Amino acid sequence: MNKRMELESELDEANAKIKELVKREERTRIARDLHDTLGHTLSLITLKSQLVERLITKDKNRAKQEVKEIELTSRIALDQVRELVTSMKSHTIMEELIYVQDILQTANIQVHTNINIHMESLPIVEQSMLSLCLREAVTNIVKHSKASYCWIDLKDTVENTYLIVADDGIGQSREWGEGNGLKGMKERLSLINGALTVHTTNGSVLEMQVPKVKKDVETYV
C-alpha cells in the first residue's frame, strides 16, 4: 500500500509538471504564430496592396481580383487573431481537426480524414501536444509543400496512438525540415515520450507516435 501511494504521488507530480510544460509551450507557440503565421499574412496583404496600387491604372480587372484576394487574406488574419486570443486553453484533437480543415480548404488543398480512435481514451495533455503538432504540420503543408491533397489519419493500437499527416507535394528538403517546425514537434512529443518519423517520398509523411499511459498503478506494485 505504501508503495502504491508513493507511485500515485509521483504520477500526480509528473502530470502537474507536464501540464505546466504544456502551458509554457502554448505561450511559446502563440509568440511563434504571431511572428510566423500572422506576420506572413500581414506581409502578404502589404505586397498585394502595393500591387493593386500599380495595377489600378493599367489593368483594372486584375486590380479588382487582387482586392478580392486582399479581403480574403484579411479575413484569414482575423480568424488567426481570434484563434490566438483563445488558444491558451487546451484543445482537443477534434477541435483542431475542424480548424486545420478550414485552413487547408482555404488554401485549395483537398483534405481527407480518417479518425479511428476512442477520444475518451486519449488524455487532454496528449491531445494538446498532438493538436500543436497537427497545426504545425498543416501550416508547413500550406506554406511550403505546393500540395493538392492532404491526408490526416488518427488511430491507435493497444500500446500507442498514431497521428499521420501526409501530402502529395514537393517533398521536404533539408532546409525546409530544419527551418519549419520539425524540431519543435519532436520536442513537444518528447515531453509525452512520443516520437516523430518523417518520410519524403512522393510528398511528405509525418508519423507521430505517442505511447498510451498505463493507469493501473497496481501493476507496478
d(CA 61, CA 63): 5
d(CA 187, CA 129): 10
The domain made up of 1-89 has a fold known as 1.20.5
Look at domain 91-221 and name its CATH class: alpha beta
Altogether, the residues listed in the chain come to a count of 221
What pLDDT, on a 0 to 100 scale, did the predictor assign at position 218?
38
Domain positions in the chain are: 1-89, 91-221
Low-confidence ranges of the chain (pLDDT < 50): 88, 174-177, 215-221
What pLDDT, on a 0 to 100 scale, did the predictor assign at position 217?
38
What pLDDT, on a 0 to 100 scale, did the predictor assign at position 172?
65
What pLDDT, on a 0 to 100 scale, did the predictor assign at position 43?
74
What pLDDT, on a 0 to 100 scale, did the predictor assign at position 219?
35
Strands of 103-179 (E only): list them: 110-116, 149-156, 160-167
What pLDDT, on a 0 to 100 scale, did the predictor assign at position 154?
95
d(CA 151, CA 39): 27
